[in-house]
Amino acid sequence: MTSRNYLLLTPGPLTTSRSVKEAMLFDSCTWDDDYNLGVVEKIRQQLTALATRAEGYTSVLLQGSGSYAVEAVLGSAIGADNKVLIVSNGAYGARMAEMADLMGIAHRVYDCGEVARPEVQTLEAILKEDTAISHIAMVHCETTTGILNPIAEVGVLARQYAKTYIVDAMSSFGGIPLDVAELNIDFLISSANKCIQGVPGFAFVIARTAKLEACAGHSRSLSLDLYAQWRCMEDNHGKWRFTSPTHTVLAFAQALAELAEEGGVAARYRRYLQNQQALVSGMRELGFRTLLDDVFHSPIITAFYSPDDAQYRFKEFYSRLKEQGFVIYPGKVSQSDCFRIGNIGEVYERDIISLLNAIKHAMYWKK
């Protein structure tokens, strides 16, 4: 265990600012007004405001990592007589299908492979043919590859065919401008340790209030009952049902303040985009190839093919980068040999330049 702090170029947990970490040096009382009214309620309002300017939306926070909230939404929003169409092009889409399976939720999967975008015409054909479908669930930025999925086009379909629309915007919310009302999203899921740049410990859902109210009594789980969690927060001014991740929540409040200081989501998006563009052009100069075509890329994370060299080992490359202060991510795609580099977190273009320099030094197979 080294005491040196390295830069996490991973999409959560990610590198946070010192002030975000320092915000945790305080022990809050889980039912005190200072905490619930003063911190939790403010966060809930700020999150709803970040998601849309329209009326009729609310937010709810839930203990656990992002997957807990995805599972809570699927398990609470989809009733016993409903059926969900899950759009999948990576590990997180596949995870939703696994959750639906385990919870006994009727579902159909449209899998378009890992390096392509789902086709809206195909989705429309499915909706026309399979009228039992009542919900559509899709990932916005599929972190497996960094691909950005067409949430607006699918939102139009959801409206046209009157389907409840669930979007896993885990790795994009706060880093890519969006408006849930414009996109017709009913449930948007994200977590504390991604683009808002907080520390791990809870996730959150922005929901159309009327749709959340309709979730009463659906949940397949006690702890992951999104409606009950929301009801408790609504009725008790920000009180969590079970022990709340108090330190994480304080860090998140600070992270939200820093997002505003930076200039909001639009400014953060520009920074991530600069990071990503500097990374891709520098990596190409070093001879690396991206997994995706440029038009598919998000500014969040980029997958690169592993070098085609018999001497190359990800582990060795990884350790040589870590020694120089950078932590990258292994690949998650099943079809190709890749590694990934995240662009989000307290990371600036100068860090990407230093990273590229470190990569040049870590390319031992070239020596």
Ligand X SMILES: *Cc1c(COP(=O)(O)O)cnc(C)c1O
CA distance 155 to 164: 9
What is the closest distance, in whole angstroms, from the C-beta atom of residue 246 to ligand X in the complex? 19
Determine if 66 is a binding residue for ligand X (CB under 6 A).
yes
Determine if 343 is a binding residue for ligand X (CB under 6 A).
no
Residue 81 and residue 104 in contact, taking contact as beta carbons nearer than 8 Å: no
> Which part of the chain contacts ligand X (CB under 6 A), choosing from 43-51, 65-73, 250-258, 305-313?
65-73
Residues pairing with 338 in the sheet: 305
Residue 88 and residue 154 in contact, taking contact as beta carbons nearer than 8 Å: no
Q: By C-alpha distance, which of 91, 194, 79, 89 is closest to 151? A: 89
Determine if 63 is a binding residue for ligand X (CB under 6 A).
no
Site for ligand X in 180-199 (CB under 6 A): 191
Residue 134 and residue 83 in contact, taking contact as beta carbons nearer than 8 Å: yes
| Binder among 46, 89, 114, 168 for ligand X (CB under 6 A) | 168
What is the closest distance, in whole angstroms, from the C-beta atom of residue 350 to ligand X in the complex? 25
Q: Smaller CB distance to ligand X: residue 36 or 172?
A: 172
Please give the helix or strand (H or E) that residue 91 lies within, else none. helix 91-103
Determine if 143 is a binding residue for ligand X (CB under 6 A).
yes
Determine if 88 is a binding residue for ligand X (CB under 6 A).
no
Residue 23 and residue 254 in contact, taking contact as beta carbons nearer than 8 Å: yes
Peptide bond into 13 cis (omega under 30): yes
Give the contacts of 107 (CB within 8 A, at least 6 positions apart): 83, 84, 85, 86, 97, 100, 101
Structure tokens at 157: 């379909």
Q: Smaller CB distance to ligand X: residue 347 or 359?
A: 347
Q: Smaller CB distance to ligand X: residue 66 or 245?
A: 66
> Which part of the chain contacts ligand X (CB under 6 A), choosing from 165-173, 213-221, 251-259, 282-290?
165-173
CA distance 79 to 249: 31
> Which part of the chain contacts ligand X (CB under 6 A), choosing from 32-40, 59-67, 226-234, 271-279?
59-67
| Binder among 171, 290, 302, 343 for ligand X (CB under 6 A) | 171
Determine if 173 is a binding residue for ligand X (CB under 6 A).
no
Determine if 61 is a binding residue for ligand X (CB under 6 A).
no
Residue 186 and residue 165 in contact, taking contact as beta carbons nearer than 8 Å: yes
| Binder among 57, 92, 173, 252 for ligand X (CB under 6 A) | 92
Q: Smaller CB distance to ligand X: residue 47 or 139?
A: 139
| Binder among 9, 12, 71, 275 for ligand X (CB under 6 A) | 12
Q: Smaller CB distance to ligand X: residue 143 or 302?
A: 143
Determine if 149 is a binding residue for ligand X (CB under 6 A).
no
Determine if 67 is a binding residue for ligand X (CB under 6 A).
yes
Q: Smaller CB distance to ligand X: residue 69 or 359?
A: 69
For 150-158, the CB contacts below 8 A with 24+ separation are 150/117, 150/118, 150/120, 151/178, 151/183, 151/185, 152/182, 152/183, 153/120, 154/87, 154/118, 154/120, 154/123, 155/182, 155/183, 155/184, 155/185, 156/184, 157/120, 157/123, 157/124, 157/127, 158/184
| Binding site residues, ligand X, CB under 6 A | 11-12, 65-67, 70, 92, 139, 143, 168, 170-171, 191
